[in-house]
């Protein structure tokens, strides 16, 4: 099994540090200064951040940690976990990571690093600082590197549990890098985790690995629209970005089962889109033709219809027995939002004119309505817009609002979706609302130049495919696009990021 790539430099050491707090015996017994433990300290807290009901299980049960590490673990339980599971309960973040923190130092230090970055991120928002607090960053990087070093040593063992430990660290590092806005490192960790999962069949995987495998699929599915580790967003999934997976029609007895079943459908619809993109571009493939693509579209349509009927039956039966909690209501609305999005996406997969999207205006309006309800439940739970979570691991409103802005040409509906994107600045996995707002605004401006006096955008002025490449300094982006019908070939426009 490959080791997780070390994407940050760490200090070299000829004698292995035994990680004893303050100064380890291996270093001090040889007259060396131990630089491997808490060289950096966190600044004192001056800003009070909102927290959920306190939980002290990690604080009380993990000996040998200094005050800063305990502080980070407390922040992780009280702030980071509620943020990450904003849309729905998560076995990974509400149970598994806490268990592994107790048993595995590599996971514990990875969690401390994530928490330190998160606290600094929240602090910068509350105090409107333009620059990060370097003490937080130094401390977090030290914890990050210590986790890496421990993980490298752990991987050399023959312990069958090491795969699950590596995957847990890997997914923690992904969230950390996304919070930092470092897509290159986030993609490196994601790919490494996927490689580990591919190296062993699912039937031989331990329970921990099976739980984490679902979390990786959750992160990887929307990645289809991100072309490589750079900040490049595509209008159609590029070749090889997503593979078709087996879809099983299983009964829906819980919200989790509904989400898992829809996620597989989402993955396969993205796969169809990638095939259509290859076909539209004229790439030679003996397996791609209008007949085979139409057959795949029809089969997926049947699957989506069956899912819709089963979901309606589940919702009706549940409502007749017990009332939904606030989070359950939000989770169901997210599923319904994604269902409306996938319905329009699948229905227009083989259309190169972009005119078919006009037939799905009810779905686009439904997306806006559901997203308004979802955001309202967050405001109810957190008390105000300013306290809403800044990042969640699951995909929620962002991709659907993005889709509505890009593919709906009704001016009022499209503008409403854009305003909803602006209401709540946050990240959902690889989706960043700030970046999405700027992409949508740029594409809308391009198409509005061709809108006629009646408010209609003719086919020749509609963007069919697009690729957005963000400059390294994040101050501008280049939109490369092809209009429906292909007139004029690929064009590009430079847009500032405001």
101-142 pLDDT per residue, tens:
988 999 999 999 999 989 888 777 655 555 555 787 889 899
Distances from the Cα of 479 to the Cα of 232, 403, 495, angstroms: 10, 16, 7
What is the separation of C-alpha 207 from the centre of its chain, rounded to a whole number of angstroms?
A: 23
Q: In what order do the strands lie in the sheet with 427-428?
A: 391-392, 427-428, 431-432
pLDDT at 29 over 80: no
Average pLDDT (158-174) is 91
Selected residue with higher pLDDT from 243 and 292: 292
Q: Look up residue 211 and give its two tokens.
A: 């739980």
How do the residues of the chain divide into helix, strand and coil, expressed in percent and rounded to 5? Answer: 60, 5, 35
Q: Look up residue 275 and give its two tokens.
A: 């095939």
pTM, to two decimals: 0.81
Q: Look up residue 405 and give its two tokens.
A: 């802005």
Q: pLDDT (tens digit, 9 = 90+) per residue, 31-89?
A: 554 444 455 556 665 544 444 444 555 655 667 788 889 889 999 999 899 888 888 88
Ordered by start, the domain boundaries in the chain are 25-219, 226-496
What is the separation of C-alpha 209 from the centre of its chain, rounded to a whole number of angstroms?
A: 19
**Over the range 38-62, which residues count as b (16 or more CB within 10 Å of their CB) and which as e?**
bebebeeeeeeeeeeeeeeebeeee
pLDDT at 13 over 50: no
Say if CB 74 and CB 57 are below 8 A apart.
no
The values of phi and psi at residue 342, to 5°, are -65, -30
Say if CB 188 and CB 5 are below 8 A apart.
yes
Give the strand pairing for 391-392 and 427-428.
parallel
pLDDT at 3 over 50: no
Say if CB 347 and CB 341 are below 8 A apart.
no
The values of phi and psi at residue 409, to 5°, are -105, 5
């Amino acid at each position: 099994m490959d080791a997780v790539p070390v994407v940050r430099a760490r200090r070299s050491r000829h004698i292995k540090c035994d990680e004893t707090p303050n100064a380890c015996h291996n270093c001090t017994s040889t007259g060396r200064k131990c630089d491997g433990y808490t060289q950096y300290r966190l600044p004192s807290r001056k800003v009070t951040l909102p927290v959920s009901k306190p939980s002290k299980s990690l604080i009380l049960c993990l000996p040998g940690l200094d005050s800063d590490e305990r502080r980070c673990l407390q922040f992780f339980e009280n702030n980071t976990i509620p943020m990450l599971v904003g849309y729905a309960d998560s076995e990974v973040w509400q149970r598994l990571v806490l268990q592994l923190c107790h048993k595995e130092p590599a996971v514990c230090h990875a969690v401390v690093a994530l928490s330190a970055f998160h606290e600094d991120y929240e602090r910068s928002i509350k105090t409107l600082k333009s620059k990060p607090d370097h003490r937080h960053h130094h401390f977090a990087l030290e914890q990050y590197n210590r986790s890496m070093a421990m993980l490298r040593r752990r991987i050399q063992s023959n312990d069958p549990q090491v795969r699950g430990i590596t995957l847990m660290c890997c997914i923690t590092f992904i969230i950390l890098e996304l919070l930092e806005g470092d897509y290159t490192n986030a993609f490196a960790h994601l790919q490494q985790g996927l490689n580990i999962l591919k190296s062993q069949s699912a039937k031989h995987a331990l329970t921990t690995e099976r739980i984490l495998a679902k979390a990786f699929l959750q992160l990887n599915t929307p990645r289809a629209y991100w072309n490589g580790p750079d900040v490049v967003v595509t209008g159609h999934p590029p070749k090889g970005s997503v593979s078709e997976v087996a879809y099983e029609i299983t009964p829906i007895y819980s919200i989790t089962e509904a989400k898992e079943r829809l996620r597989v459908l989402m993955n396969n619809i993205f796969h169809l889109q990638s095939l259509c993109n290859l076909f539209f571009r004229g790439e030679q493939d003996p397996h791609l033709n209008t007949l085979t693509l139409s057959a795949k579209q029809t089969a997926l349509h049947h699957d989506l219809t069956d899912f819709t009927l089963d979901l309606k039956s589940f919702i009706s039966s549940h409502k007749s027995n017990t009332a939904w909690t606030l989070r359950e209501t939000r989770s169901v609305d997210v599923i319904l939002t994604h269902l409306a999005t996938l319905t329009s996406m699948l229905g227009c997969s083989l259309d190169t004119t972009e005119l078919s999207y006009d037939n799905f205006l009810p779905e686009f309006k439904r997306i806006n309505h559901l997203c308004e309800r979802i955001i309202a439940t967050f405001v109810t739970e957190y008390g105000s817009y300013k306290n809403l979570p800044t990042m969640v691991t699951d995909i929620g409103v962002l991709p659907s609002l993005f889709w509505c802005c890009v593919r709906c040409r009704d001016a009022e509906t499209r503008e409403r979706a854009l305003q909803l994107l602006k209401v709540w600045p946050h990240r959902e996995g690889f989706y960043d609302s700030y970046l999405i707002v700027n992409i949508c605004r740029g594409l809308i401006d391009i198409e509005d130049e061709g809108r006629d006096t009646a408010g209609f955008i003719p086919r020749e002025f509609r963007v069919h495919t697009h690729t957005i490449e963000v400059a390294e300094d994040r101050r501008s982006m280049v939109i490369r696009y092809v209009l429906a019908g292909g007139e004029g070939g690929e064009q590009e426009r430079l847009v500032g990021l405001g």
